[in-house]
Structures are given as C-alpha cells and as structure tokens.
Chains A and B, each alone.
Chain A
C-alpha cells in the first residue's frame, strides 16, 4: 500500500501538501502531532494517530436504550455502525446547541471505532518537549485520570486527553451500571 499522509488522517482537510505553506515537519514526525479542538472555553488535544477522520454532525443518531446519556447513540458511517459520545455530557459540562462548527471526530483505538462530538476543531499542532507543562494538581474540573498532560502553545493551554483511559471498557461499563 502506498503510504500517503492522507491515509493516516482519512479525509481530514487541514493537511494539504500542495499548499505552499505546507508544514513538512508534520510528515517527518518531529515531536508528536496532536489534533486540537474546543470544548466550551478550553482547548483539548488528541493524538493524531488515533484520529481516523472528521465528519459533520449527522442528520440522525439512533438512541440506544438503557445506555448512559453521554452515549448519544449509533450512526451509519458508510455502512459501518458506530457509537457516538458527547464529550460535553461526558465531562458534565453545560449543554450546547449543535451548530455549523460542531464536528464528530472519529477515533480508533485498536479495532474499536467511536465518534466524539466536540464544539469545533482548531488545528493540527506539533508538540515538542519544551511545549509540555508540569501538570498542576487542580488544573481543570476534569477528572485527572483522563489527562495525559498539559501543553503550552503560544501562551494558550492545551489539555492533552488520554483517549485510552477515556474509552476504557470498565469505565464505560461502570457508567452504564449506574443508570
């Protein structure tokens, strides 16, 4: 198989090789690449290798009986049925009307695929060692086990999410028990 950067990202459109300002550093894996997105007033980051593609908010999401509310339901993505998680609900943040910038980030961990609803996608950034911050004890309202670290990006703080923790089966299992 030909290896093309697009394959890593699905039909992700922020990467454009033909663009003169295209940052080739992205391809050379200099440091780690993160996809940053916004949720409320804060900026979060996801490891780009776990991101499959970005899709807009679909017309219909089929609700799943007896599941926690943050799991909105299932959608049909080109013949594949996959669950959608609302990160705002997951982090118990205020609800937000979906708008033109609402995006579902399709992530994949091992063979499991899930869509994550976020307010908007910001950028793909390269994080070097010097960008990383010491994580203060009470940095956000977020449960610290979902946070891999913090980064400083031109003066703005980015919360780096630990997707594997967030989507750990026992984590989800426990929550479905509660309801």
Chain B
C-alpha cells in the first residue's frame, strides 16, 4: 500500500465535492444575490480548496482558488455587488478551476502524490485562470499587495500526541505558516514525560507562535483545520498591538491559556480541546469529530466480490445439506440449523455491503441545475428544475451509469419538450416551464422519473417520421403506446435540423440500451400539449439481483425478477390467434403476445403448449409479454458475473451466475430476446 498516494487522492475527491458545492452555492447566489450566508459558504468552500491545493502542491489550483476567493471577499465586504454577470464570471472561474483538476482525475486512481506534482507543472499558468476578464472594473485588481494591512496573531499549537502515527508533519504546518508572513516560534518541552514513560512514537513538543501576516483570521484558521486531530489543541488569537519580543509572546500566551482554563472550570470540563462551545468568536471553533470515513471504491468492490462468493457458497451449503440428511438424519438436522443461521448472517452481510455502496442520487441531480440554467440562458427559454427525492439511495456504480442517460433525457426535455416563453403564453401556460426530476424507492427497486410540462410528444408526427424512416409497416395502424415506443428505435428522429444539444437522431435508443444494460427498464408516457415523462426502473445493486430460476427443456436460466409482473398457467381458451399479430394470451381482457422461449433460444425438447408449461408475464418498456417456460425452479438472489470481457457477445444473454452446485447459469437479456 502506498501511503504517500493517499493525501493527494483524498484531496482530489474533496476538491471535486468543493467545486460542486461552489457551483450549487453560486446558483443559489443568483437567486438570492444579497444572501450573506451563501457568500460565506462560498468563501469557506473556496478557502478549503485553496488550503488543500497548497498542501498537496497544486500551486496553480491554489492560486486560482486564491483569486476566486479575492472576488468573494469583495462580495462579502460589500465593495462588490452580486449580479448575474458576476455569478457568470464566477461560474466560469469555477469551471477553469475544475479544468485544472481534470487532468489529474483522469490519471489512474493509484496515482501517487509525486505524479500529481509532476502533472501540475504541465498545467497552464495562473493567468489563464479567469479567462473572461470581468467587465466590471472593480473585479480586476486582484493583487495580494492590494491588501496592505497586516495583523498580528498568537497561535498556540499542541498537536494530537499520536498525530505522527497518522503521518502528520508538524513542520509542514510551520513552513506553511511561514509563507503567510513573519513568524516567531517558541517550542515548549514542558510536556515531556520522564524517560521511562517516553514513547518515541508520540509527539510531546508544542509551540507558541507569533505571526505577522496580511491574512485574515479565518484563512489561518482554515490552514490549522487540516492538521487538527482528536486530541489536538490549536488556538489562535488576533492581537491589537504587535508584541515585540518572545517574552511577550509567551506572556500573551499564558494569558490566553489562563482564560481558557478559567472557562473550563466554570463549565466543569477538564479538557479544553473537547468543548467547542467554550470558545468565543476570536478563538477557533473546534470541529466535531468526523463520523464518516473515505474508502476507495476499489476496496468496496473487492468486499462486494467476497460477499458475492459467500452468497454462492451459502447456496452450496444448502445443497450439501440434502446429501448429509440422506446419510445421517441427526447430523443433517444440526447441519440444517447451522445453514439456516448462516443464511441469515449472509443475507445481512449482503444487505450491509449493499448499503455501504449506496449514495444519494442527488449527487448526479445537482450538476443538472447548472445545465438547465445555462441552457435556458442560451436559448431564451425559461425553465425551472424541481428535484424531489434527491436523498434516495442507489448503488454508486448504477448512479454513475445513469448520469449520462439522465443528462440526455434532460437535454431532450429542454430542447424538444420545452416551448419558448411566448409559445407557452399562447398555449395558456406559465411562461416558465418546469422539469421535475424525481427519485423514489419502490419494492426493492429505484424509480427515477424525469417529467416536463412542455409540448409533449405528438403521436401523429412520430408515426409520420416512423413511416418515413421505414420503421412502421405501411398498412399497420399501431396503438398510441406502440407509436411512442418508436422513439427508442435506433436512428429515429423527428427534427430536421440538428441543434447543438440534441436532435442528432442518436439518443433514445442509446438511453434505452444503457438502462437495459443495468437490467433496468424505461417507460415513456406523454400527453400532447401537457408534457412528457420518462420513468426508469432500476435494480438497487448491480452485483446481486433478485432472480427467478426457470427451466426451458433441459436448460436453466435466470430471469431478473424486476421485469416479472406475474406468472400463470393458461387455460386453452385463453389463447387467441389474430391474423397479423400472431399468438396472444388473454389475461383479464388484456391481450399479450406469446413468446416461446425455447424457440427464441433454439432449445429442443421443450414444452410447446402453453397450457402444459408456465407463462411468465414480463414488462418491457410499457408493453407486457408472456414468456413460455417449462417450469419455475426457484427464486433466489443471483450474483451477476459479467461476460463482457470475453470474446463473444452473446445475443439474448445479459450475464451469468453460478448456482449452488457450482455450475454456470445464464441471465436472460429479455429486451434482446423480444426484439
């Protein structure tokens, strides 16, 4: 394990989050230009970014963040008034900061800090940070020298005694403080224990520092923040008149400590560092101990794989039990008890690892606010994005993989769905259109819905385009739902002119494919003049899904349970045959197409008469089909093994799994089989 790599990697994660926070706050600032709170939050984010960047040696990013921060401090002090224009400039600046970060992100997840250092030298010089020079004159002077006022601070540094074990380097902090201004440091040895108690892994030294710097208190505070540990005691105080010699530094320090211990006694706390409420405004606020840890996804993946293996082995144990019971009844009974207990633990383990891998879908919703804002501005449309259920959790990998498709659907909604404000007024609607992004968890699946109140899909136009593109049989008069399904056909488009955002005719088929690759389902519904809605149904996890084990002839397959709506054995009178629609099954007055799986999969010696086998009703898009199988063998959690890396793409097979007896079983790709 490469410990060196950790701080840089963690910083990259953190930096991304900070830049996202900055974007969110900027968009909020646009809505509430005078909100001091928002500016304050922006300032904090930019500041943390700057400190972190400096710490891992990304000077360009640190300088960029510094300039960004300088503008923010003007906003905060009121010398600059927030306006949409300034927000735009800041958004651009934020994008530039992100572009400094991006080359580092694309390198391997194991890139060491030295690599980060090396890469950063290839980055463009600082001047390019804000490309678009702000039109407002007040924005231009961003020199450090423009803040001539210097302050004097007293800093008390007592690190967590075990900080060295975590690889913290007190010297680094001192050097960084040195860069802030003039430094006077006294090291104290009063905490040293007797030699018999001396533990060479612990840090006993502590420091008193006088710093003369043009930095603000909170800037220094932010730096200290990075070094703060559970047991550390960092205090900082600004003093009016600069003290001249070390004696005074110490004196002032004693006063400060005395103050704190006095407060302690009052509040009956023995350890000053453990009570944040005690500090006054000029004393640093101590952070709450973090209750979360960062873990690389690769580690979770490994853990997930191990759990998957355990799930498979559990199934083997069950099989083994049958054999044991056949030879020794009593031993079999004991063994069964054990297997059942173990089953529970394994289920729990599986649930827990799944929980750990879950992240709120809101993480991919947030960047969409910016996309909507920018699009609306550029295309003179008024669009509002409403987000519900952002806290709904979904597997990290799935969340990442639906981001592209969702973005595509959003762009479609903005570009094709939304009318211009004047058109909307003519149609008697609110000039501002609304796009709703909604996530929820239902029966072990996650539903993500994106709906707009735009013009809706015109079935007539779609049908015309479908006929023009030869996707509809000339004499066939399809139902409205069948017409809507046309938008998922490869190459389908109604727009004749291609816009920047969408309309290239690639899209909905790719979206559908992506969702189906996740063993999910996509449905479209639309009302002309009222709007369009697309509903994605997704499994909670990609590693283990609920599956139905079916038999066709002598072969077994797994069907994702997510697609199954019901199972039945039909009576002969439920089977109908229509002229050009093939065989249909009458289920409570609904006629569903019959699909014989053995025909599609070319399996011989399988049941051919529906009344002798079983029908599984599956949902594909909005359409339902009846799949004929010989029998249903089991319903079980299925560990998905990808077949992608192998030589052949197998049509009709989405993946494989391993059954209790160790044999391989295929998971059916229902969408591909039905096409």
Contact = CB atoms under 8 A, between A and B. Distances in A.
B633 interface: no
A8 B9 CA distance: 32
A60 B652 CA distance: 22
Interface in A64-104: 64-67, 71, 73-76, 79-83
A66 B652 contact: yes
Contact of B647 (A60, A66, A76, A167): A167
B643 A173 contact: no
A65 B666 CA distance: 10
B603 A172 contact: no
B648 A62 contact: no
Interface size class of A (residues with CB under 8 A): 20 to 34
Interface size class of B (residues with CB under 8 A): 20 to 34
B651 A66 contact: yes
A82 B663 contact: no
A167 B555 CA distance: 27
Contact of A111 (B645, B648, B658): B645
Given A65-B602, A79-B658, A112-B645, A73 B650 contact: no
7 contacts: A65-B601, A65-B652, A65-B666, A73-B664, A74-B664, A81-B656, A167-B647
- A-B interface, 3 closest residue pairs, ranked by CB to CB distance from nearest: A62-B664, A65-B601, A81-B641
A62 B652 contact: no
A67 B650 CA distance: 7
Contacts of A64: 650, 653, 666
Interface string B646-675: 111011110010100111111000000000
Contacts of B663: 60, 62, 76
B309 interface: yes
Contact of A80 (B555, B602, B641, B651): B641
Contacts of A111: 645
Interface of A: 60, 62-67, 71, 73-76, 79-83, 111-114, 167, 169, 172-173, 176
B647 A112 contact: yes
Given A60-B663, A81-B641, A81-B643, A67 B648 contact: yes
Contacts of B662: 60, 76
Given A63-B555, A65-B601, A76-B658, A81 B664 contact: yes
Contacts of B646: 82-83, 112-114
Nearest to B309: A79
Contacts of A79: 305, 309, 312, 641, 658
B653 A65 contact: yes
Nearest to A62: B664
Contacts of A167: 647
Contacts of A81: 641, 643, 656, 658, 664
A63 B601 CA distance: 11
A149 B18 CA distance: 59
A66 B647 CA distance: 15
Interface string B593-605: 0000000011100
B1 to A, nearest CB: 13
Nearest to A169: B647
B644 to A, nearest CB: 10
